Structure 1
Amino acid sequence: MGSINVRKEKLYFDFRYRGVRCREQTNLADKPANRKRMKDILQRVESEIVLGTFDYAAYFPESPNAARFADHDKQIEQRSAKTPTFKAFADQWMEENRIGWKPSYINTLEHSLSKHVIPAFGSVPMSAISKEDILAFRNQLARIPRKDGSVGLSAARINTVMVPLRQVMREASERFGFDNPYQGIKLLKVPRTKVEPFTLDEVKAVLDGVREDFHAYMTVRFFTGMRTGEIHGLKWKYIDFKQRMILVRESFVAGAMTDTKTEESARDIPMSDEVYAALQAQYKRTGKLDLVFCSGSGEPLSINNVCKRVWYPLLALLKIPKRPPYQTRHTAATLWLAAGENPLWVAQMLGHSDSAITHKRYARWIPNLTRQDGSAFAALWAAHTQTQADDSSDEGVSQ
């Protein structure tokens, strides 16, 4: 947002146009009447900038910036005649590449394009889009009002929105032979997601307190480290009770069944005693259906509904600090590592493409490298539950 400032006792305009900071000096003294007059002018300038009707030379004909922007507009006009509009080329680009993308990735691209990018650049010729335009667009994303009253999309969300813009600009610049204006624009820095695992006592409280029809679901979340999409896309044909294995082969993401996130995500997870018993009980509920965990009609679970109706109400009831369900995956990882499981085995169970990810993310939970078969955590859990049972028994005797 522009402002009226003073330099050597004379007022000047200070505003941004096409990503460039513009300062236009006047001969007006710093008086209230002059400030009011200039604020009115500045308001009109900024309104016209938003509408795309601003003519720099009409307001500041003697300014070097007027000639600069005029030359820029002339160059854009010459290049624009040779390239399609952003929307036309983006539609073509989507159709050309759709066959090689997962449905979830297509949904993400289409949402970013339709909600943000197309409204901003849809009618603009590809070669007419400048680096200043792109940076100004990104800044606008950081000022969008949100439903919770806050302002601006998160850095992670802005980076996601910018993905199709970056890829479309790169492809168009190669095809039509103009300099890519996106060159040199880096991703915004995104704060790392906090690892806030549940303690053993909290895990037990959740499993004891959750309603019966979600007990198996929560057990699998806590004791396998599976991603939400992997659990919601888990089918009975991938449950091997004989070998006591869960075969992770598909994922339910963005409303569609798809392949796993990466090749390494397709993995076989051994069932602990708790998971085996939970899935045996779940088979009585949904064994005749396709999905292991599903709605009454057999449809995949919605994570939003699970959070709203089961997860967050349960945490509130148990007075456990609020955390997203994804922390169950971190819980499995940290408890495995704290129990002494080999980090390489843990990385395989989590489906990490590189074990270095596991070391970096969970470094402070790695005490040693002695075990690699899952038995250490099983022993830790059994000991914990037995200790609680003994304590309850002792209390009963004392009474």
Structure 2
Amino acid sequence: MASVSVRKESNTLYLDFRYMGRRCREQTNFKNTVANKRRLEKLLVVIEAEIMAGTFRYAKHFPDSKGAHRFAEEELKLHDPKEWSLKQEQQVVPIFEEYVLGWLERHKVAWRKSHIVNIESMINKHYLPYFGGMEISSITRNDLLKFRTALAKVPGRNGRESLSNTRINKIMDPLRRIFEDAAEEFHFITPYIRIKQLKSHKTDVQPFTFEEVNLLLDKVRTDYRDYYLIRFFTGMRTGEIDGLKWKYVDFTKRIIKIRETIVAGEEDITKTESSIRDIHMSQPVYEAFKRVKANTWRFGKFVFCNREGEALNHCNVTKRVWYPMLKRLGIEKRRPYQTRHTAATLWLAAGESPEWIAMQMGHSNTEMLFRVYSRYVPNLTRMDGSAMDKLLAEKLEGRHAV
């Protein structure tokens, strides 16, 4: 469980390790940089090796620490190697707060920034207030069920009386992994058993009709027309278009290279491996990029940016441009993400290959395409059997007419 962590108030690093069955945290003056973190991680390796060998002395590494005085007497008593070994093997099960913060630090290296922010929010807003001071091995299945019931009473977003079942399931899911890891480390049975997900209503996608797309593009603010045109006809995710850089726009091959995204104002890798893709530019999209290039290239690396050259703040744009426009035109309020769904349905309606559409969308296969979007195709084309009638009429040429 030893780790190098960051104290948010000062942005400095501290060591977090166990010694003689107790948790020890030693603050440093080192700022949170990669070089400093590596330096302290090396020190931590030495400390852990000395602890295992029975040669560690607290005052040697931390002479001014309160821990040096606290452990000094005990260290003097433990001259017998067997006694030392027994003392070290004493395993004190931590409280939930202590364990989950260490668990978070160990997993951060494998997660995207957006996921880290999401998990940290769940921990601070929901987990710690409820489980924080409880010994992690003492938490029962009934405690978890009570916690889930408490979540159902938390006010939801946009004035909703409570959190949706979908949101509750997303908050509960990381707890399964936390307790599985803790149970393996401290040798107890995980309490997260026989807890099924709550039934949640499937959220329908709400693509815009071609008539609505034309209306929106006609009435939107001139400086945002090309931004939304490209969104409607490429299917890019919000973070992908807001984080798009000019170096990834290939005018010669007429492709948009999706290699990065922007999440919570920070540049990041794409959502999934299949999200790394090349999107074909239709003629309207190609012309839109040429217009944007003429107007904004001088501001910086991002295709769409503010006057300081920084990437657009999607929350600001949505509240200031998108929603007011929908309200003004009398179009049902929908998230900007529906532009992505619109692109998929328009491609399907145009008769493009499902495999090609899946690649343009960044899906690993066509499963989601058929499951989510195909039911909208009859509303856009005459996919009602008339195509087969036409084929038979052309090929049979009346040979089997009665």
Contact kept in structure 2, 1:222 and 1:332, CA below 8 Å: yes
Partner of 2:342: 331
Contact kept in structure 1, 2:166 and 2:200, CA below 8 Å: yes
Partner of 2:321: 310
Say whether residues 1:83 and 2:100 are aligned partners: no
SS at structure 1 position matched to 2:322: helix
Partner of 2:144: 134
Contact kept in structure 1, 2:108 and 2:116, CA below 8 Å: yes
Partner of 2:390: none
Q: 1:113 pairs with 120, 123, 148, which one?
A: 123
Q: For residue 148 of structure 1, report the CA deviation from its aligned partner.
A: 4.9
Say whether residues 1:295 and 2:302 are aligned partners: no
Which amino acid in 2 is paired with 1:309? R
Say whether residues 1:224 and 2:234 are aligned partners: yes
Contact kept in structure 2, 1:159 and 1:187, CA below 8 Å: yes
Q: Which segments of 5 or more consecutive residues in structure 1 lack a partner in the other structure?
A: 1-80, 368-399
Q: 1:237 pairs with 238, 247, 252, which one?
A: 247
Q: Which segments of 5 or more consecutive residues in structure 2 lack a partner in the other structure?
A: 1-90, 379-402
> How high is the sequence identity, in percent, across the aligned residues?
49
Contact kept in structure 2, 1:238 and 1:247, CA below 8 Å: yes
CA distance in 1, matches of 2:199, 2:193: 17
SS at structure 2 position matched to 1:257: strand
Contact kept in structure 2, 1:120 and 1:137, CA below 8 Å: yes
Q: For residue 302 of structure 1, report the CA deviation from its aligned partner.
A: 1.9
Deviations 1:247-284 (A, max 9, x none): 00111123321111111111000111111111111112
SS at structure 2 position matched to 1:251: strand
Contact kept in structure 1, 2:237 and 2:337, CA below 8 Å: yes
Partner of 2:192: 182
Partner of 2:30: none
Say whether residues 1:352 and 2:363 are aligned partners: yes
Q: For residues 40-189 of structure 1, what are the structure 2 equivalents within 5 Å? A: 82-146=92-156, 148-189=158-199
Q: RMSD between aligned alpha carbons? A: 1.5
CA 1:354 to 1:189, structure 2 compared with 1: closer, same or farther past 3 Å? farther
CA distance in 2, matches of 1:88, 1:221: 44
Q: For residue 97 of structure 1, report the CA deviation from its aligned partner.
A: 1.4
Which amino acid in 1 is paired with 2:254? R
SS at structure 2 position matched to 1:268: strand
Equivalent residue pairs, number:
287
After TM superposition, the score normalised by the length of structure 1 is 0.69
Contact kept in structure 2, 1:338 and 1:366, CA below 8 Å: yes
Q: For residue 128 of structure 1, report the CA deviation from its aligned partner.
A: 0.8
After TM superposition, the score normalised by the length of structure 2 is 0.69
SS at structure 1 position matched to 2:205: coil
CA distance in 2, matches of 1:312, 1:279: 24
Contact kept in structure 1, 2:348 and 2:374, CA below 8 Å: no
Deviations 1:344-395 (A, max 9, x none): 111111101221111111122457xxxxxxxxxxxxxxxxxxxxxxxxxxxx
Contact kept in structure 1, 2:256 and 2:279, CA below 8 Å: yes
Which amino acid in 2 is paired with 1:343? P
CA distance in 1, matches of 2:364, 2:145: 33
Partner of 1:207: 217
Q: Which runs of 4+ in 1 moved over 4 A?
A: 146-149
Q: For residue 82 of structure 1, report the CA deviation from its aligned partner.
A: 4.0
